[in-house]
Amino acid sequence: SCIAVDNAGGAEEAVNYLISLGHKRIAHISGDLVTQAATERLEGYKCALKKNNIPLKEEYIFKTDYSRGQARLSAEKLIKMSETPSAVFVASDSMALEVMAVARELGKEIPRDLSIVGFDDNPSGLYGPVALTTVKQPLIKMAQESVKELNRLMTDKKAEARKIVLPTELIIRESCQP
């Protein structure tokens, strides 16, 4: 059995939020695409653009390995582009915080010059110079469902494995603006 979060749905909601603020040049810094989470978050990003009739620009997609170092390199490239994105959806909060740091080092103001959304709801996102807008994973609910599922499998010998997908929640803070 598997307890998972709706990575694609969470990513789509994050990008839809940026679009609702008027952003059309939205980049994505992905995680390691060998992971299911990163692949689904990229799909959610693409889906939101498509549903809102915003052309997908491959140069706005930066594929990384979830590390802060790769996020730093991607942020430097993103900010130095000739047609700089006005917003970026980042596949993890730790990478999003690195993007924020790089942007500030290069003289950009968050969110005036660049709106940023992360994914995870890492508590560290609250304590930077600008509180990070993020997609929250229901970690406590995941743990509860895991225990229930394990109990079900142990007590019912005929029980079959299943996949339970839990919804995410967009947490709006200070890192985005129209």
pLDDT value of residue 97: 97
CB-based contact 11:88 (threshold 8 Å): no
Largest interatomic CA distance in the chain: 61
Give per-residue pLDDT as tens, 130-149: 999 999 999 999 999 999 99
pTM of the entire structure? 0.94
- What does the alpha-carbon distance between residue 145 and residue 4 come to, in Å, rounded to a whole number? 10
At residue 158 the predicted structure's pLDDT band, cuts being 50, 70 and 90, is very high
- What does the alpha-carbon distance between residue 92 and residue 117 come to, in Å, rounded to a whole number? 9
pLDDT at 6 over 90: yes
What are the b/e assignments for 64-84, b being 16+ CB within 10 Å? bebebebbbbbbeebbeeeee
pLDDT value of residue 128: 84
At residue 177 the predicted structure's pLDDT band, cuts being 50, 70 and 90, is very high
- What does the alpha-carbon distance between residue 143 and residue 162 come to, in Å, rounded to a whole number? 16
Q: Within 13 Å, how many C-alpha atoms sit on residue 71's CB side?
A: 23
pLDDT at 24 over 90: yes
